[in-house]
Amino acid sequence: MEQYPSQLLTSAVDEFSKLPGIGRKTALRLTLHLLRQEPERAIHLGESLIRLRKEVRYCKCCHNLSDTDLCQICANPKRDASTICVVENVKEVMAIEATRQFQGLYHVLGGLISPMDGVSPQQLEIDSLLERIRQGQADGHTPVNEVILALSTTMEGDLTNGYIFKQLVRFPDLKVTTLALGVSVGDEIEYADSVTLGRSILNRTPYANTFQNNK
């Protein structure tokens, strides 16, 4: 391994090179770059990372990333609380928000059911989704009318869709939909382009029909 003239330099290079896609050469270049900058730049970087790690949390309602207990989307009174879009991760929230076509709220599962990887429904935010819908039926709350299943069309995504759909049957007035077919098939939705994704949200179809039509 390379010999660096300073222990502190070595330690900074070590830390940078732990990041994905950063080899030791790039790590050294970044470290030397920071040393050439005004001290405030590096201090600001360090402080923003510390605050990020200490203060960012998961929204207590939808489990999106947030600086506050309730994320900006859940806290926005203009959003339509009667529609909940179920997504795998925070990245999908960002992709759907970028389309500007969806006015409802989200529910971030934090993964997909995967027997292969040992991920069970209990490890995901599925119970909290059911609880949200249940609470919506209580007095003084906005009832949830529609749940959009916007998971990837992988085997795990299908499995998770099916599991959630079965749980939702207990709410007879609830509409369960999915993104328009032919859009996200075989793709993670975060990779779909914004216009296509936006269209597939507007043209969503009843979930059960996706079996019957099998288009």
Single out the residue of 12, 74, 81, 86 in contact with Zn ion (rule: CB under 5 A).
74
Distances (CA, A) of 61 to 10, 36, 131, 186: 42, 44, 10, 29
Question: How far apart (Å, rounded) are the C-alpha atoms in residues 22 and 171?
Answer: 48
**Could you say whether residue 89 binds Zn ion (CB under 5 A)?**
no
149, amino acid identity: L
Residue closer to Zn ion (CB basis): 74 or 197: 74
Residue closer to Zn ion (CB basis): 61 or 168: 61
Residue closer to Zn ion (CB basis): 62 or 81: 62
- What per-residue string of b and e applies to 57-81 under the rule 16 or more CB within 10 Å gives b? ebbebbbbebeeeebebbeeeebeb
**Could you say whether residue 81 binds Zn ion (CB under 5 A)?**
no
> What mask, x for binding Zn ion by CB under 5 A, covers residues 125 to 164?
----------------------------------------
Segment contacting Zn ion by CB under 5 A, of 58-66, 91-99, 154-162, 207-215: 58-66
Question: How far apart (Å, rounded) are the C-alpha atoms in residues 156 and 154?
Answer: 5
**Could you say whether residue 64 binds Zn ion (CB under 5 A)?**
yes
Cβ pair 58, 44 in contact under 8 A = no
CB of 200 to Zn ion, least distance (A): 22
Segment contacting Zn ion by CB under 5 A, of 15-23, 67-75, 114-122, 134-142: 67-75
